[in-house]
A and B are shown apart, each in its own frame.
Chain A
C-alpha cells in the first residue's frame, strides 16, 4: 500500500531529522508525536468533563423531582419497556468493546480490521437509535409527551395517533438509500477506499432498520401479552384502582395539589387503561408500592408530564450524542480507509473511543434510573 509506505517514510524522516521535516500527520506547531498525542488526549478528557457536567444538570433535575414525587417516577417508569432498554444497554456495551478493539487495530496497523471494528461500532449505534425510534414513536402514539404536551388520554377526544415511526424513519431511510447508491458506485469502480467507506455505512443504515424491526417485534410481544391476559385483568384493575382513588385522596392528603379533582374520574380510568397496556407483568401492579400509588393524581401534565420531560431531555440529549458519535466514527472510517493510522498516530481513534465510552457510560446510568424504578 502506497499510503503505508508514505507513512513509514514519514516516520523514518521524523526519526532522522526531528526538527525540520514534519510528517503530514504531525501539526506544524507540535514538536513531536508524543506532544501531539498528549495534547489531544488531555483535550478530550477535558471535553468529557464538560460533557459530564452538561448531563449533571439533568441528573440534578431528575434527583430533585424524583425526591419530590417518587410515586410519579414509579408509575411512569412502567410505561418504559425494560426489554428494549436492556437490549440497548447490551448493544452499547458491545459497541464499546468494538471501539476499544478498533484502537488496538489502529495501533497495530491492522487497517482492514480497524475499518471493520469502526463499522461494527457504527452499526451498534444505529441499532440503538432504531430501537429508540420505536420506543419514542410508541410513546408519542400514547400521548406520553413532555410537560404541557402530555395528553395520554387526558381528554377522550385524543385517540391514538399513528405514523410517528414512519415519520422518524424518513431521514434514516434517505441516508441508507444514499449509502446504498454510494456502495453501488464503490463496487462498480472497484475502488478499495470507497468500498471500505461505503460498506460500513450501508451496513449501519440497514442496522437502524434492524433495530426498528427488533423494537417493533418486542413491543408487539408486549401488546400480545396484554391482549390475552391484559384485557380481563385490565377491567379488574380498573375497579381496583378506581376503588383506591376514593381513599387515595384521603391517604395522600400530603400529596401535592389535587387541584385537578374534576379530572380524577377520567384520570383513574386512564391509569387503569394504562395498567392494562402494561398488564403483561403482574408484579408491577400487585406490588404494595403500586397499590398505594395515587394514580389519579399522577396522570397529569404536572406529574407524569414532568417525568416525561425529564425522560425525553435525558434520552434525547443522549441520542444527540450518539448521532454526534456516529458522525465522528464515519470520519474515522474515512481516515482508516486511507490507512492513515499507525503506532505513532492513532490519537483520533483513541479520543473518539474515549468519547464513545462516555456516551455508553451515561446510558448505563440512564437505563436503571429510568427503566428499572419499580
Chain B
C-alpha cells in the first residue's frame, strides 16, 4: 500500500473552476429565507447545526457523569441528579443526535445532489420534519428544565409510571413521539426520492453506496418507528389516565412494554449505524482513489442488515423472563447480523488494499471508524450469546460495547463525513493538519474512555450506578481522564470547522477526487443543484479524475 499525499499530474482538462458567485447560501437572504426554506441543502445545514448543538448538550451530560464517577462515593452530584443526568445524556444522544445525525443532516444535504435531482420528493414535508425535530427538542428541554427525567432513556415500566417526575416523563415521551414522526417523514421522503426521482442513467447499481445505506436506513425508519410512536403514546396515556396496559398493578404487562420498545429500538440501532457505514464506503474509495471493492455486496449487505435488524430485538431482554426457546432463537438471529456487517468491513479493507491512500482528516476518521466499529461489533458477540450475556447484562461491558458502536462508529463516521463534505457544504477548506490532530486525539481519548469500561463490566461493575466499590476506582479514573481527552479532541474538531468559515481557503469543485455527482457541482452547490440533468457514470470510476494544480482540486478528464 503506497501512501502519498496527492498524485500530481499535468492537468489535461482545464475547466473553469472558480468559486461560484451564486449558490444556495446567498440565493436569498434574511431569517425567513432560512426558516421557511424548502431547499434540502438549507434544511440539511439547519439540521447539522441542530444535531451538533444537541451533541454538545448530551456531551456535557456525559462529562458530568464521568466527573461524578471520579470517586467511588460522594460524587459531586446527588444520586437523584445523577439519575437525571445519565437519563438525559442517553435520551438526548439517541433521539436528538444520533438518529437524525447522518440521515437528516448529511443525508438531506447530499441525497438529492448525489442522485442528480433538484430536491427531495416532498420539500414541504422535509421542512415539517425539521420543525417536528425542533418541537421534540423543545419538549426535551422542557423535561430537562421542569423536573428532570430519571427513568433512563428506555422509559421502562413500571418505574416510568411510578416515578415522581411525571411531568418530565410526559414531556419526554411526547417528545419521542414527535421526533419519531420527524424520523418517519424523513425516511419516507428519501425512499420516494430514490425510487421515483433518479435521473436517466442513474440505475440502482450506479447509486453511490451512501445512498444505498440511506435507503436501507429509511426502510427501517418507516417500518420500525411507528411502533415506538404507539408505545410512547400508550405510555403517555398510562401516565395521564392510568390505562394499565403496561402497569402490573392493573394486570398490565411491563415485559410487553419492553417488547414494544425494543421492536423499535433495536432496528433503531441500525438507523444509527447504517448511514455511518454508507459514509465510510464513500470515504474509503475517494481517499484511496480506488474503486470500491465489492460494490454489490456492500449494497446488498445494507439491505440485509436492515431486514435482519427487525428479528433480533429480544436480545435486549434475555434476563426479562422469556421462554427458553425464544431466547435461543433471538440469540441465533442476533449472530446472523454479524455476517453482513463483517462483509462491509472486509470490503473496506479490500478497497484500501493497493490503493493510493491520502491520510487526511476524513480518511483518519474513517480508519478510526473501522478500528472502533470492529471492536464494537466483536464485543457484541458475547452479549448476543446467552450464557455470557447473563453475566454481562446491565454492566459496563454493555455500556462500552454500544459506545464503541454508536460513538466510535456513528459519531466518528459522522465527523469523517462532515469533514469530507464540509468544503462542498460551505465552500471552504479547513486546516487539514489541525483536523488530523483532532482525529488522533479523539481516537486516543475514545479508547482511553471505553476500553477500561470493558474490564469494569466484566468484573461486575453495574451500569447506571452513582457509586461503586473502591476497587473499581483506578479504571473509572482512567475512563474519566479519557473522556476529558475525548471532549477536548471533539472541541478541537469543532474549532477547526468554525475556523475554516473565518479564514478557510475557497474550496474547489472537487477537493478530494470523488467521482460521485456532488463533486460535479460547484462548492457550494447552486440553488437548483444542476442546471440540466447531469451525466451519470460509474460513481467509483476514478480513472478519469486527475489533480489539477491550477484549481487546487481534481478535474475530470474528458
| Residues of A bordering B, CB below 8 Å | 27-30, 35, 38-39, 42-43, 46-47, 49-51, 53-58, 60-61, 64-65, 69, 146-149, 256-257, 301-303, 305-306, 309-310, 312-313, 317
Q: Is B317 an interface residue (CB 8 A)?
A: no
Q: Please, how many angstroms separate the alpha-carbon atoms of A147 and B248 in the complex?
A: 11
* A64 adjacent to B256 (CB under 8 Å): yes
Within the complex, the shortest CB–CB distance from B106 to chain A, in Å, comes to 20
Chain B contacts with A in 214-241, Cβ cutoff 8 A = 222-227, 229-231, 233-234, 237-238, 241
| Interchain CA distance A35-B225 in the complex, whole Å | 27
Whether a CB of chain A sits under 8 angstroms from the CB of B252 is yes
10 more A-B contacts (CB under 8 A) besides A29-B117, A149-B241, A149-B242? A28-B119, A42-B192, A54-B230, A60-B260, A64-B253, A147-B247, A148-B242, A306-B243, A306-B251, A309-B243
Of A35, A54, A55, A302, which contacts B244 at CB under 8 A? A302
Task: Knowing A42-B196, A148-B250, say if A61 contacts B256 (CB, 8 Å).
Answer: yes
Contact A46 B191 (CB under 8 A): yes
Q: List 28 A-B contacts (CB under 8 A).
A: A28-B118, A43-B188, A49-B223, A50-B188, A50-B222, A50-B223, A51-B226, A53-B224, A56-B226, A57-B227, A58-B230, A60-B260, A61-B256, A64-B253, A146-B244, A147-B238, A147-B241, A147-B250, A148-B243, A302-B244, A302-B249, A303-B251, A306-B243, A309-B241, A310-B245, A313-B243, A313-B245, A317-B233
In the bound complex, how far is the Cα of B120 from the Cα of A105, in angstroms?
Answer: 30
Closest B-chain residue to A72, C-beta based?
B251
Contacts of B245 in A (CB 8 A): 61, 65, 147, 306, 309-310, 313
Contact B195 A42 (CB under 8 A): yes
**In the bound complex, CA of A43 to CA of B253 (Å):** 35
Q: Which residues of A contact B121 (CB under 8 A)?
A: 29, 39, 43
Nearest CB in chain B: distance from A343 CB, A: 20
Chain B residue at minimal CB-CB distance from A257: B251
* Known contacts A56-B227, A58-B230, A303-B251; A39/B192 CB under 8 A: yes
Inter-chain contacts of A42 with B (CB < 8 A): 191-192, 195-196
Question: For the complex, is B123 an interface residue (Cβ under 8 Å from A)?
Answer: yes
Q: How large is the interface on B (under 10, 10 to 19, 20 to 34, 35 or more residues)?
A: 35 or more
Q: Are B237 and A39 in contact (CB under 8 A)?
A: no
Instruction: Report yes or no: A146 in contact with B243, Cβ–Cβ below 8 A.
Output: yes
Q: Is B72 interfacial (CB-CB < 8 Å)?
A: no
User: Which residues of B have CB within 8 Å of A149?
Assistant: 241-242
Whether B251 pairs with A46 at a CB distance below 8 angstroms is no
Give, as a whole number of angstroms, the nearest-CB distance from A57 to chain B.
4
Interchain CB contact under 8 A, B229 and A147: no
Q: Give complex CA distance A196, B351 in Å.
A: 64
Q: Which residues between 146 and 205 of chain B lie within 8 Å of chain A, taking CB atoms?
A: 184, 188-189, 191-193, 195-197
With known contacts A29-B117, A306-B251, A35–B237 Cβ distance under 8 A: no
B542 contacts partner chain A, Cβ-Cβ < 8 Å: no
What's the nearest-Cβ distance from chain B to residue A52, in Å?
8
What is the CA–CA distance of A126 and B241 in the complex, to the nearest angstrom?
27
CB distance from A262 to the nearest CB of B (A): 17
Q: Does B371 contact A (CB under 8 A)?
A: no
Chain B residues with CB under 8 Å of A256's CB are 251
Q: Is the CB of B252 within 8 A of A57?
A: no
Across-interface contacts of B118 in A (CB, < 8 A): 28-29
From B191, B223, B244, contact of A305 by CB (8 A): B244
CB pair A50 B184 closer than 8 Å: yes
Distance in Å from the Cβ of B151 to the closest Cβ of chain A?
A: 19
- In angstroms, Cα B223 to Cα A247, docked, is 49
* Contact among A46, A50, A306 with B252 in the assembled complex (CB-CB below 8 Å): A306
State the CA gap A47–B450 with chains docked (Å): 40
B468, chain A: closest CB distance, angstroms: 38
Most A CB contacts (10 A, CB to CB) among B125, B222, B245 go to B245
Asked whether B188 lies within 8 Å of A147 as measured between CB atoms, the reply is no
Contact between A147 and B234 (Cβ–Cβ < 8 Å)? no
Q: State in angstroms the CA–CA spacing of A30 and B192 once bound together.
A: 12
Chain B residues within 8 Å of A257, by CB = 251
Residue of A nearest to B263 (CB): A57
Q: B196, A38: Cβ atoms under 8 Å? A: yes
Q: Is B122 an interface residue (CB 8 A)?
A: yes
Provide the bound-state CA to CA distance between A39 and B194, in Å. 10
Contacts of B233 in A (CB 8 A): 317
- Pick from B192, B229, B243: contact of A46, CB below 8 A: B192
CB distance from A349 to the nearest CB of B (A): 17
Q: Which of A28, A35, A303 contacts B196 (CB 8 A)?
A: A35
Whether A57 lies near B222 (C-beta < 8 A) is: no
A57/B244 contact (C-beta < 8 A), A35-B196, A46-B191, A46-B192 known:
no
Assess the A39–B234 pair: CB atoms within 8 A.
Answer: no
Contacts of B244 in A (CB 8 A): 146-148, 301-302, 305-306, 309
A35–B196 CA distance with the chains assembled, in angstroms: 7
Whole-angstrom distance between the Cβ of B286 and the nearest chain A Cβ? 27
Inter-chain contacts of A61 with B (CB < 8 A):
234, 245, 256
> Given contacts A42-B196, A146-B244, A148-B242, is CB(A305)–CB(B231) below 8 Å?
no
Q: Are B243 and A147 in contact (CB under 8 A)?
A: yes
Near A by CB (< 8 A), chain B positions 370-428 give none
- Say which residue of B123, B188, B191 sits within 8 Å of A29 (CB atoms): B123
Contact of A57 among B197, B223, B260 (CB under 8 A): B260
Partner of A147, one of B189, B196, B242: B242
Residues on the A chain within 8 Å of B191, using CB: 42, 46
Asked whether, in the complex, the Cβ of B250 is within 8 Å of the Cβ of A39, the reply is: no
Closest partner residue, chain A, to B181 (CB atom): A50
8 Å CB contact of B250 from A28, A47, A49, A301: A301
Contact of B197 among A39, A56, A313 (CB under 8 A): A39
A146 CA / B234 CA spacing, docked (Å): 12
Highest count of chain B CB atoms <10 Å: which of A50, A58, A65, A306 = A50
Of the listed residues B227, B231, B242, the one surrounded by the most CB atoms of chain A closer than 10 A to its CB is B242
B242 — which chain A residues lie within 8 A by C-beta? 146-149
Considering residues B229, B230, B247, which has the most beta carbons from chain A within 10 angstroms of its beta carbon? Answer: B230
